[in-house]
Structures are given as C-alpha cells and as structure tokens.
Copies of this chain bind each other. A is one copy, B any other.
Amino acid sequence: MRRQGWAHRTRDIQAFHVMSVLARAKVLESQGHDVIHMEIGEPDFSTPAPIVRAGQSALANGHTGYTPALGLPALREAIAASYAQRYGVNLDPRRVVVTPGGSAALLLVASLLVDPGQSVMMADPSYPCNRNFLRLLGAHAKMIPTGPQSDYQLTPELIEQHWDADCSAVLAASPSNPTGTLLSRAQLNAMADVTQRLGGHLVVDEIYHGLTYDCEASSVLEVAPDAFVLNSFSKYFGMTGWRLGWLVAPESAIPELEKLAQNLYICAPHMAQLAALAAFGEESRAICETRRQAFQARRDFLLPALRDLGFGIPVTPQGAFYLYADIGTHSSDSGALCRHLLENQHLAITPGLDFGDYRQHEHVRFAYTASLDRLYQAIERLERGLG
C-alpha cells in the first residue's frame, strides 16, 4: 500500500496565478491571437552584450567547475565595491554571499533566521515566494495589511503594534513588488531601530535597486550595518536566466551561511559569476541606464493612462516595473477581470491574489515589461474591454 498524498506543506503552497495567466496566454497565442504580456516580472531586455561576452569568454576558458560556496572572491569584491560607489557604504567583501538567484538568497536567510513555528512580518501585498519559503521551513509569514496611507509598506508603528513573541524578523522590500513603492533612508532607519529594539532581524529585499524613477533608492546598509540585504543580477542587469543573486549579512552570520550554502546548492553557476563581473563595467552600466530610462518612459505613460481609465493608483510608484492598481468600479473580482481581459482583449495582467489576502480581489498588477507601442495598444484594449 502506497502512502497517500504528499507532505502537508504542499497543500499550503499555492501555484502562482500569474503562471496560469501565462499558460492560457500561450494557448491563445498558439491559436493565432496577438497577446500583450504585462503579467510576468521579467524585463523584456536580454542580458547586456558585455555581460554575455564575459560569459562566453568564461566558457572558452574552461571555467566550468564548482566555485567556493560563498562565490568567487573577485565577484564578492566587485559587489562590495558597488556599495561604496552607489551608497557610500564601506562593505567588507566577506559579508557578501553569492547565490544562485535571489531565490536562494531568500532560502538562506530564512533558514538562518527562522525556527519552525516562528514568523516573519511583512506587508500584504508582497512577493508571493516569501511566504512559501517560510512555509517550507515550518514557519509562516505574518502578513500585515497595508495600503496607500503607508505607501503599501510596513511602518515602525505597524511593526510595534503587530510584533509578538513568535516573530523572528521583519522583511521589507524597496522598491516593492507588486507596488513599486520605496522606503526612504529615514524610514529604513526607523524600521531598523524598532526591529532591533524588539529583538528581531531586519531583512530588506533590494532586488529592484537601480530601477528607480525621479529618485535614488537608499540601501538599508546606509543606516543599519547589521541588516540582511537580498539582491539579484536578474532585474536591473537583465540576467534572469543566469540564476545569480547575492545576500549581504552581518559578519557573524557568514560561517553559518557558508555551511547552509554548501549543503543547499554547493555554489552559484560558475560562468554566471564570471559574466557578472562585467556587469559593473562602464559599458554595461550605460546600457542598463538606457533601459532604466525606457522603463521610466513607460511608467510615465502608463500611470496617467490607467488613472484616466479609473484605476486607483493613489501612490506614484517610483521603482521596479509594476503598477499595482485598485480596480475600483470596474469589478470586485480581479480574477474574473483578468480572465475577461485575457480572453476578450488578449491582454495578460496578474490578479492581486498572488500577493496576499488583503483586498486582493480588488487589485491587479500591471508589469510594464513591454514596449511603449505595445503599452499604447494595451490601453486601447483596456478601454474596449472595460467599455
């Protein structure tokens, strides 16, 4: 007699709704329909040429073996140096852990900080994988409803009000997925203070740093040297498929993280690490800046156009490539609205359900990972679909 069913955690981990949207969009495309993709959190730019060339050169030179679990020393140094340049933060390269994607950075930090039964506090809405990593470890996300009054972010007051004995850490994201909002240096500082006073760890997802508009993002390391930072080469540097990210941690955590990394993934892809060394060069920076400007132009078009159509976007998003919109009078069922727009207008967007429980049926996420021309068409399709 075969055991019935799978481990209990699998029941609590949901597939992303965005993946069903994508799968259905592909079926429509295979039937000859022209679908506009605004559902996926992936830049529509491929990796900048200098990074690709460095990857090819790594392969040509036979760099196909394992690297140290914490990453190639040269890459850890380059990442550390970028903190001096970008934020004026003097960062010891030994505090940088190179990981196979931001996902692995999240798994590492959760494994390090959270015991079974504990929780990590985060804003609702937030990135869906966060809560699933915690579920994997027998812990859970303590999702705090947030809205426009706090830019959809946690505040020191919210942290203090909801903190309890089971809380181990606070996880913030700046810029946030799905809302695109940032935390200022002062806000990060206040959040670090209260978290420290409560005896918790502060973890900040800075994966969308670099993709900011009309402002610069502050790193939590400017104000809280012992915070944990998650980052990735995927978004700003356009390296999603290479699977490369990093974690900055207090020095005292590094030996534990090294053990965990050895066991959980051995090392990040070698050729990706060598390729990423080129990401910090001038040529790559210039390409990434051009792309940032393209994203900004898209936001600047899309934001007022959506507002004109009656979508509620009360806080101007200043980062990432998402607009998180209250569907307001159009519907009270974002899943149904997304299906309607996909089936009848061939416009793919993500229902709020992926990002939490708080008013998720009343929200959708638009990813502006399509060209301006396509965004004009998207607005036309929205007008027709909502009309």
Interface residues in chain A, defined as those with a beta carbon under 8 Å from any beta carbon in chain B: 1-3, 6-10, 13-16, 19, 40, 42, 46-47, 52, 55-56, 59-60, 62-67, 69, 100-101, 103-104, 107, 111-116, 128-129, 132-133, 136-138, 168, 196-197, 199-201, 226, 238-243, 253, 255-256, 258-260, 262-272
A-B contacts, 30 listed (Cβ < 8 Å): A2-B196, A2-B201, A3-B200, A6-B112, A7-B115, A9-B115, A10-B256, A10-B260, A15-B258, A19-B262, A40-B66, A42-B66, A46-B64, A52-B64, A55-B271, A56-B60, A65-B241, A67-B241, A100-B100, A100-B243, A101-B265, A103-B266, A116-B138, A133-B264, A136-B263, A137-B138, A242-B270, A243-B265, A243-B267, A271-B271
- Docked CA distance A103–B265 (Å): 5
Besides the contacts A46-B65, A55-B271, A64-B239, what 10 more A-B pairs have beta carbons closer than 8 Å? A1-B199, A2-B199, A6-B113, A6-B253, A7-B115, A16-B262, A55-B59, A64-B241, A101-B265, A136-B264
Using Cβ atoms and an 8 Å threshold, which residues of chain B touch A242? Answer: 64, 269-271
Using Cβ atoms and an 8 Å threshold, which residues of chain B touch A55? Answer: 59, 271
Asked if B138 and A100 sit within 8 Å, CB to CB, the answer is no
Asked if B241 and A267 sit within 8 Å, CB to CB, the answer is yes
Asked if A111 and B259 sit within 8 Å, CB to CB, the answer is no
Using Cβ atoms and an 8 Å threshold, which residues of chain B touch A63? Answer: 241
Minimum C-beta distance from A189 to chain B (A): 16
Asked if B15 and A262 sit within 8 Å, CB to CB, the answer is yes
Q: Which 4 pairs of residues, A with B, have the shortest CB-CB distance?
A: A241-B270, A47-B64, A132-B263, A46-B62
Asked if A111 and B9 sit within 8 Å, CB to CB, the answer is yes
- Docked CA distance A259–B7 (Å): 13
Asked if A271 and B241 sit within 8 Å, CB to CB, the answer is yes
- Docked CA distance A260–B56 (Å): 31
Asked if B7 and A264 sit within 8 Å, CB to CB, the answer is no
Using Cβ atoms and an 8 Å threshold, which residues of chain B touch A243? Answer: 100, 243, 265-269
- Docked CA distance A69–B263 (Å): 22
Asked if B199 and A114 sit within 8 Å, CB to CB, the answer is no
Minimum C-beta distance from A78 to chain B (A): 19
Instruction: Identify the closest chain B residue to A103 (Cβ).
Output: B265
- Docked CA distance A322–B287 (Å): 48
- Docked CA distance A265–B105 (Å): 10
Using Cβ atoms and an 8 Å threshold, which residues of chain B touch A240? Answer: 64-66, 266
CB-contact partner of A265 in B2, B104, B138, under 8 A: B104
Using Cβ atoms and an 8 Å threshold, which residues of chain B touch A129? Answer: 262-263
Using Cβ atoms and an 8 Å threshold, which residues of chain B touch A14? Answer: 259
Minimum C-beta distance from A229 to chain B (A): 17
- Docked CA distance A36–B16 (Å): 49
- Docked CA distance A137–B168 (Å): 18
- Docked CA distance A239–B15 (Å): 30
Minimum C-beta distance from A170 to chain B (A): 12
- Docked CA distance A16–B64 (Å): 22
Name the residue among A132, A239, A241, A260 with the largest chain B CB count within 10 angstroms: A241
Instruction: Identify the closest chain B residue to A69 (Cβ).
Output: B19
- Docked CA distance A268–B19 (Å): 17
Instruction: Identify the closest chain B residue to A41 (Cβ).
Output: B66
Using Cβ atoms and an 8 Å threshold, which residues of chain B touch A111? Answer: 7, 9-10, 136
